[in-house]
Structure 1
């Protein structure tokens, strides 16, 4: 088992690596903004034999926030039944979460660009993290990524 990882650096990225397989991961990067109402960013998923990217995911200030979803998962570190899910208003990024015994959360990250177009595609990877501290760290890092001032 490899060590799970949530990284940030000076280029404003957040990388989530699966604790069960470090070659499986998700990266939030290339953040920009046109106005105070939204943050645009790219999301990349990767696994052995798979690399996929959506270039312009949008987080609107009035939408249901990814960070609130992740913070709720972190707060429920003792577990829950069933699957919980979240998606952007454009449906181009979706996250579902399950809890497994031993205190781990499986986050399945799904990219679906061009949901209205014929020939669209989707790609998913699942990262496993420790339910408490690692989920809290992820929520904190994603919040910082999405709310950081743009230059």
Structure 2
């Protein structure tokens, strides 16, 4: 396995901060390629009194990943009713999106590894972002981090 970020001009991590509370953040890091179709990354969620990390999240080259979900939210910047949900295939990471008046999107990031194990745990944080520019930048940054600009992982 090779490191995804061999080039010095590429970011090694991506941090999303809540516009309402800058102590709340989500960090994508430690991306590595397994093969041409699959890579893995880690995600950390932080808030006052909380710091949780989940390693080995898969990202696939075939488009059912987080970046297209965020891009769809960006396209609907005028809002939507209810909640939209995206999950990794094994449900270790869930992202729930809601639209609030004033043009803001709340993304609740839930880490829940080992769901069927006795030692399972769960941690969640919610980041609030502006529905237009901030969501668009996030979708672009996530696509870049996951290495999906040209339809493949580095």
C-alpha contact (below 8 Å) 1:29/1:42 kept by paired residues = yes
Q: How far apart are 1:61 and its partner, in Å?
A: 2.3
2:107 alignment partner in structure 1: 107
Q: CA distance change for structure 1 residues 11 and 77 in 2, over 3 Å: closer, same or farther?
A: closer
How many Å separate the matches in 1 of 2:63 and 2:76? 22
Aligned partner of 1:139 in structure 2 is: 139
Structure 1 residue 146, shift from structure 2 partner: 0.5
Structure 1's consecutive aligned runs of 4 or more residues displaced over 6 angstroms after TM superposition are none
Alignment gaps of 5+ in structure 1: 1-8
Count how many residue pairs are aligned between Structure 1 and Structure 2.
Answer: 142
Residue of structure 2 in register with 1:89 after alignment:
89
Which whole-Å deviations, capped at 9, do the CAs of 1:91-135 have from their partners, x for residues lacking one?
111100000000000000000111221220010000000001100
Say if 1:63 and 1:89, in contact at 8 Å, map to a contact too: no
Q: How far 1:64 sits from its partner (Å)?
A: 1.7
| RMSD, matched Cα | 1.4
User: Runs of 5+ in structure 2 lacking a partner?
Assistant: 1-8
1:147 is paired with a residue of what secondary structure? coil
Contact 2:11 2:145 (C-alpha < 8 Å) held by counterparts = no
Instruction: Describe the SS at the equivalent of 1:39.
Output: strand
Establish whether residue 77 from structure 1 lines up as the match of residue 70 from structure 2.
no
